[in-house]
Each structure stands twice: as C-alpha cells, then as structure tokens.
A = this chain, B = another copy of it.
C-alpha cells in the first residue's frame, strides 16, 4: 500500500512536469464561509484535474517492457485525460474506455492526446470490460485503475505535500481539508501526506447527495455502496463504493464526510467564477460547496477545499452562471 516514501518518490518523478497549483482566497468567500477559506486549485493542473498526478505517477513507474506494450484505463473522463497525457509524454500506447455519455469535452480531449478511445453504453447496461475486450486481447496492456492502485494514490498524494507547504505559508496549521471524493484515491493520498507533513490538517471527504458512500462507510465502519450510478451532474465522482485501499486509510485518518446537493455545487461554481476567476466542474466544486454551505459542520478559523477539476461543458457552465451568477 501507498506510504509517504512512495508519495515522495512520485513527487520526484513529477517534478518539472506537474504544476504547483495555487491556493486561492477572497475576502468575499471568507465572509460566506464564516472563516478563512482557501481553495487548492487542482482544476488548474495539466489536463484540468488532479488526475494528471496519478496518471503520471503510474505511467512513470512502469518497467520498460510494460511501457512498450501500453496501458489501459476505464474512466468517465478526468482519469482518462490524466493517463492519456502521461502516456503520450512517455511514448506509451494508451487505450481508454469511456462511457458514451461522458462530457464531450473529456472525450474529445482524451482522443486529442493520442489515446485510442473505446466508448460503451453505460446507461444501456453494456459492460465496459465487454466493450474493451476486442481492443485489448493479446496486447498485454497494463491496467491503471483510477483509485484502487498504490502508485496512483501516491501521485494524488503529492497534492497533500503541496497543501502542507502552502498552508504553512498562509499561517494555517490546524484545519479541515475538504476533498471531493469518488473512490477516494485523492483523499487517501492527501491524508497520508498530511499525516507525515502537517498532522494538524485533517482530510474530510465531500460528496454529492445520493453518492455519499464514503461518508456512510466512515460512519458505519464498513464499506457501503450507492443505490445508483447515475443521477447527479457531478459526473467525475459517481463511483459505486469506496476503494478497498481508500477506506482503511480514511477510517484511520479522515473526519466525517460532508454531503452537498447538485444545486449547491452549481452555486459554488458561480462563486468561484465571480470571486476566484477559476472554472470548476460540478464534481470538482463539491468540496468548495461544503466549505461555503456546511459551515456549521466545520470547526476552526480556517478551512481548505481541494477543487479537483474544471472539465465542464460550456452549456452546463452557462446554466450555473444563469441560475447563480
């Protein structure tokens, strides 16, 4: 399993390639949140999401023989782009299996990064494995899982190393760190990094209503699953259940989960537009929405929200501005 040495090793491989994303703030947002609010803007990462980190960490860790054969990933979009970008940069062939109803921007970008994109009909019940089979057989591709994968978690954990440094720069040593949570790979990597570097900072997963498997799992002490896999605009973080690697770490290190509605995610996107000048996608704004709209469930005079992505189609974004701008 991932540990701090693996996270440091991933940071060394990412150095010179990863963007150290800024910690943004505004007095207007502090006012709404009732405390100092800092946004770690991973939407500004290469490929528009933190997934670049895990993709790069995993691809760069492959041995030469595995690189020559290539990689495969299953993803609704952000992991797809992270793996495709990293694979292209390393000269590694990549097959990405995506649901046909993923945002167009994510599908287009993944293709443009040189990956072979295989679409499957998620809503119609087609299995992604079945869709991928003809493209994969006999090629010996290495599967890069989106979160249940130690090297991927190590890459995501490099976000936590930066948060520890940046929190110290703004004088914050004790605070909740809210992290948008699907399978929990990012939350897990950050929690492990903060345990070592800034133990006063505590990860808390943030999830959309109806997809709060991690919050319920942390509360019950066992893996809980979601009743549905569709039905929220937060497409990036709609996973069936916590990752098997994530839950034990988060049970030990994380605070209680926070749950927000789709409308709150859209309103948070409009507030990030207005006050921070960054573009967030719905699933990437869930942590920021929790910092703004769940202030009674948060303690302390500062909070850090990790904004995880900005890959949103223009019509969805315009709708958020129309309703909440």
Contacts and interface: CB of A to CB of B under 8 A. Distances in A.
Given A24-B44, A28-B112, A318 B310 contact: no
A259 interface: no
B314 A277 contact: no
A109 B280 CA distance: 21
Nearest to A277: B310
- State how many copies of this chain the complex holds: 2
A321 B19 CA distance: 26
Contacts of A274: 105, 314
Contacts of A93: none
Interface in A1-54: 19-22, 24, 26-28, 41, 43-44, 46, 48
A276 interface: yes
Interface of A: 19-22, 24, 26-28, 41, 43-44, 46, 48, 105, 109, 112-113, 270, 273-280, 310-311, 314-315, 317-318, 321-322, 325
16 contacts: A20-B22, A26-B46, A28-B112, A43-B277, A48-B275, A48-B277, A273-B314, A277-B311, A278-B278, A279-B279, A314-B321, A314-B322, A314-B325, A315-B321, A317-B321, A318-B318
